[in-house]
Amino acid sequence: MKKTFALLLAAVMMLAMLTACGGDKPADNAGSSQPNQTETTTPPAEVPDAPEGGGTIGVCIYQFTDAFMTTYRNALQEILEGKGYEVSVVDGANDQAKQNEQINTFITQGVDALIINPVMTSAADQIIATVKAAGIPTVLINREPAPEQMAVYDKLVYVGCDARQSGTMQGELILDTPNKGDINGDGKISYIMVQGDPENVDAQYRTEFSVKALKDAGMEVEELNLTRGDWMRERGQEIVANDLAQFGDQIEVVFCNNDDMAIGALQSIQAAGRKVNEDIYLVGVDALDAALNEVSNGNMTGTVLNDAVGQATAAVEQMEALLGGATFSSGNQSVYVDYVKVTPDNVGDFMK
Ligand code: BGC
């Protein structure tokens, strides 16, 4: 009797497994703002379990001196170590050749999974070919390759944000000011744009969508200058000092693709005797601690939370899905975490 029951149970379980394998199973992408963009398919073959309380993980960061990626990598390390993984985090020093070596070393060491913040998105094909040849489950973060590039490897997923959203929010921060960014009342918003390194598509999208939000609201815009600051504070400072010297009071809005450059910009704005929110507006992205302080002191008009902890959490979740045997189908390999607008009204919610 017992035996018959056991056999019956086995048959029922078998049937359940076969049914489960028949269709696409949505990925557990908590934190994603666009659930339809991502799903995993569970292959009918043997699915290995994620290593219990362990496994070795290699994390490659494009450059340790990047302020935002410092918060992000610390969060990643803490989450992974908290889950019992052995973690090694390495600095690509903004050098793709160096990062390629680091990836190869991790592969030789036999890591269970890789989390990679590419130095050059344009080198994604090579990175993906390397991890694919080694069969290592890989999560790409922060610098998003094109869907076609990712499609060649089904144990690969990208975790990041949709930077168009952050650009739009920057534009909205300006539209929310009393004069909608037109301080001198001449009917147009005159701005300068301090851009990030175009190796990250965030630079392009934030530039485009911040201005698009102004135009979509019916405002006339005038771009006085656009300069690459490569995400770095000192570059933000230099660029804005030069622009202020050249354009002076004509500048009504300073858009910075990230907060570190905005903090640099603020130093130059103050050195020129200008006053944010009175005779000039300044916005960034990331919600770094320094920027949150300045928003709360009224020295920045606003910023946009680029959720490092949310992205690190989602990256580890997706890594564990891969370790559990999940695969990603082509065109559905990006998981996005939402941005959040930060103004003087809600800045307190983000400060530690
Ligand atoms: C962040 C920047 C950072 C860059 C690095 C962006 O998403 O907003 O602060 O420098 O990623 O790739």
pLDDT in tens, 229-287: 999 999 999 999 999 999 999 999 999 999 999 999 999 999 999 999 999 999 999 99
Phi/psi of residue 319, nearest 5 degrees = -60, -40
**Best of 200, 205, 257, 304 for a ligand 1 pocket test (most atoms within 8 Å of beta carbon):** 200
Which whole number is the average pLDDT over 142-158? Answer: 97
pLDDT score for 116 = 98
Q: Mapping DSSP to helix (H, G, I), strand (E, B) and coil, where does residue 310 land? A: helix
Longest dimension (CA), the chain: 91
* pTM: predicted TM-score of the whole model, two decimal places: 0.86
With 90 as the cut, is the pLDDT of residue 56 above it? yes
- Which residues lie below 8 Å from residue 186, measured CB to CB, with a gap of 6+? none
Half-sphere exposure of 337 (CA within 13 A, CB side): 22
Ligand 1 center to residue 256 CA distance, Å? Answer: 11
Q: Is the CB of 61 under 6 A from ligand 1?
A: no
With 60 as the cut, is the pLDDT of residue 178 above it? yes
Least confident residue range of 29-33, 72-76, 197-201 = 29-33
pLDDT digits (tens, 9 = 90+) for 96-121: 999 999 999 999 999 999 999 999 99
pLDDT score for 52 = 61
Tell me the percentage of the chain whose pLDDT exceeds 70.
85
With 60 as the cut, is the pLDDT of residue 65 above it? yes
